[in-house]
């Protein structure tokens, strides 16, 4: 008897995807069996797989914003506008 593989993240649902990180922080999802050999895989269910991918994409976008471009102009404090002379 062979039990279906459980998702390694929620341990509730049946794993349907092999999640792999191929030279990127965003995981690639492959159906079990068609994943790329030689890369570490995490067996995940459809829900967890989609969630991991979404979170990773958000993180990647956020990191891209933080890391580049180094726009320091907005850091410079602007002097509050005061009227030169009040009549
Ligand atoms: Zn799961």
Q: 77 CA to middle of ligand 1, Å?
A: 47
Residues with Cβ within 5 Å of ion ligand 1? 7, 9-10, 13, 45, 48
DSSP summary character for residue 62 = H
- What token pair was written down for 23? 């030279």
Burial class of residue 71, CB neighbours in 10 A (0-12, 13-18, 19+): exposed
Q: What is the pLDDT along the chain (87 residues), one digit of tens a residue?
A: 667 799 999 999 999 999 999 988 999 999 998 999 999 999 999 999 999 999 999 999 998 888 766 555 555 555 667 666 766
Do the beta carbons of residue 47 and residue 53 sit within 8 Å? no
Residue 81 alpha carbon to ligand 1 centre in Å:
55
43 close to 17: Cβ distance less than 8 angstroms: yes
Q: pTM of the entire structure?
A: 0.67
- Give residue 50 CA to ligand 1 midpoint distance, Å: 10
């Amino acid at each position: 008897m062979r039990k279906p593989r459980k998702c390694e993240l929620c341990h509730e649902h049946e794993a349907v995807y092999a999640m792999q990180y191929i030279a990127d922080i965003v995981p690639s999802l492959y159906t079990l069996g068609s994943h790329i050999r030689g890369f570490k895989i995490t067996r995940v269910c459809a829900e967890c797989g989609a969630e991991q991918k979404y979170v990773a994409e958000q993180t990647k976008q956020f990191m891209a914003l933080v890391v580049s471009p180094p726009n320091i102009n907005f850091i410079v404090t602007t002097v509050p506008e005061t009227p030169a002379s009040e009549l």
